[in-house]
Amino acid sequence: MRAVVFAGDGRVSVESVTDAAVADPTDAVVRVRRAAVCGTDLHTVTHAEHVPRGTVLGHEFAGEVVEVGPAVVGHRVGDRVAGADFTACGTCWWCRRGDHWECAQRRFFGTGAAFGPALAGAQAELVRVPFADTVLRPVPADVDLDAAVFLGDTLATGYAAVRRCGLRPGDTVAVLGGGPVGQLTSLAAQACGAGVVVVVEPVDGRRALAAREGALGTDPDGARALVEQVTDGRGADAVIDAIGGPRGLDAAFGLVRRRGTVVSVGVHADPTWALPVARAFADELTLRFAIGDVMRDGDALLALVRSGAVDPTVVASETVALDDAPDAYRRMAERRTLKSLIAL
- Percent above pLDDT 70 for the chain: 100
Distance CA 252, CA 246 (A): 10
Find all residues with CB under 8 Å of 80, minimum gap 6, and list them: 62, 63, 64, 138, 139, 141, 145, 148
Helix (H) or strand (E) holding 258: strand 256-264
For 34, 56, 124, 130, the CA distances from 24, given in Å and listed in that order, are 24, 19, 20, 7
What pLDDT, in 10s, does the model give residues 230-284? Answer: 999 999 999 999 999 999 999 999 999 999 999 999 988 899 999 999 999 999 9
For 6, 36, 58, 108, 114, the CA distances from 13, given in Å and listed in that order, are 7, 15, 13, 20, 20
Q: Are the beta carbons of 81 and 137 closer than 8 angstroms?
A: yes
DSSP code at position 323:
G
Nearest CA to 210 out of 238, 185, 245, 243 is that of 185
Indicate the pTM of the whole model.
0.97
172-176 and 236-241 as β-strands: parallel, antiparallel, unpaired? Answer: parallel
What pLDDT, in 10s, does the model give residues 162-208? Answer: 999 999 999 999 999 999 999 999 999 999 999 999 999 999 999 99
Distance CA 276, CA 211 (A): 32
* Minimum mean pLDDT range among 46-50, 51-55, 215-219, 321-325: 46-50
Distance CA 2, CA 81 (A): 20
Question: What is the pLDDT, as a whole number, of residue 273?
Answer: 96
Q: What is the 3-state secondary structure (H, E, C) of 206-235?
A: HHHHHHHCCCEEECHHHHHHHHHHHCCCCC
What pLDDT, in 10s, does the model give residues 91-138? Answer: 999 999 999 999 999 999 999 999 999 999 999 999 999 999 999 999
DSSP code at position 143:
S
Q: Are the beta carbons of 316 and 184 closer than 8 angstroms?
A: no
